[in-house]
Amino acid sequence: MNSKTEIGIVYHPDFLLHTNRHHPERKERLEAIMALLNSENLLSRLEQISPSPAVPEEVTAVHTAQHMANVREMVERGYDFLDGGDTYLTPHSFDVALLAAGGALSAMRAVLDGRLRSCFSLGRPPGHHAEPESGMGFCLFNNGAIAARAAMKEFGVSRILFLDWDVHHGNGTQKAFYLDPEVLFVSIHQSPAYPGTGQLYETGGGRGAGYNVNIPLPTGCGDDAYEAVFQEIIVPLAAAYRPEVVMVSAGHDTYHNDPLAGMLLSFHGFAGMARRVREIAETYCGGRVVLFLEGGYHLQGQAEAVVTVLSELGKWGRPVKDEEVHGVRPILGSPRKVITSVLEHALLLKK
């Protein structure tokens, strides 16, 4: 496997069809990523995969058939929103959501069948807020959860480290796997923030007790807090779990200029997280990493963050862009206290 094809992206122009120019989750998010990759001639370093839509049985491995039927029916009837106003619909939304889920499946299969070491699905609409019985938070179907469930069925994977570094808690992914030890779900998120879930005591249930780890950081945290989380929590958890693949809900709304959040990561912070993920994967699972695009609403900031993550995973040596970040000061809590509390709740580290 040469350096060009060790890392790939999943992309389809139809991902742009689900859009609303008045909404933060719009097609320009993806256009900015592709424009940056093009302008720096980086697409030649990536295997580009064009996905097919997920089929109903792949979606209903995570979601109820009723939820899938509801989304289809509301689109066909011309509804503007799935919910009270967060999650918009267009005439294309059902088909594009199936394509985004298919993109996540394509990325997973490319990694688990050995074609690629890592792959980033740039599908949208995003997915991590979509719960088994409902969509919410800009999300229709949970792309990453659909890929994780298929990985278990098709490849016999029984230990998936599923990391969510979006600024908002991945409530949908948590709910999908709350009872399953086959998925170690770890969410680093701003708290308090939408959707209000992701508390320390939410640690899994039944056979999955201890396999759900929430790290609710106070608003205002920056690179140092996230590095400490990786060093003190995520790296030891990975050592205890020894994953067969690492999956990432890669939201970039932790960027310090993001309009919808209050965290203060720089591009060096994103590079550090990607580097840690790569090191974990290289140590335990042959470098296998699958990523799914989630939030991130500063167009240029998200694009630069995505390319920074790809560079770290691909070991391109692309310089990390420097920016001055002002006001890194956690409020409404201490990241050190959160880390200590998480370690006290992390049952997997006590086994």
pLDDT for 85: 85
Mean per-residue pLDDT, 102-107: 98
pLDDT bin (cut points 50, 70, 90) of residue 5 is: low
SS (H, E, C) 252-264: CCCECCCCCCCCE
Helix (H) or strand (E) holding 174, with range, is helix 171-177
Active-site option among 63, 129, 168, 252: 129
- HSE value, Cβ hemisphere, 13 Å, CA-based, for 95: 9
* CA 182, chain centre distance (Å): 18
pLDDT tens digits along 282-301: 999 999 999 999 999 999 99
Task: Give the mean pLDDT of the chain.
Answer: 97
3-state DSSP assignment of residue 130: coil
pLDDT for 11: 98
pLDDT for 120: 99
pLDDT tens digits along 215-235: 999 999 999 999 999 999 999
pLDDT bin (cut points 50, 70, 90) of residue 1 is: very low
pLDDT for 102: 98
pLDDT for 223: 98
Mean per-residue pLDDT, 310-326: 97
SS (H, E, C) 88-124: ECCCCHHHHHHHHHHHHHHHHHHHHCCCCCEEEECCC
Residue found by looking up tokens 């020894």 in the block: 242
Residue 129 annotated in active site? yes
CA distance 156 to 101: 20
pLDDT for 84: 81
pLDDT tens digits along 175-231: 999 999 999 999 999 999 999 999 999 999 999 999 999 999 999 999 999 999 999
Biggest alpha carbon distance in the chain?
52
pLDDT for 350: 81
DSSP class of residue 319 equals P
Residues 6+ apart with CB under 8 A from 159: 182, 184, 241, 242, 243, 244
CATH code of the region 9-350 = 3.40.800.20
Each domain of the chain, given as residue ranges in start order, spans 9-350
CA distances in angstroms from 287 to 244, 247, 274, listed in the order given: 9, 11, 12
Mean per-residue pLDDT, 314-341: 95
Q: For strand 118-121 and strand 289-293, is the pairing parallel, antiparallel, or unpaired?
A: parallel
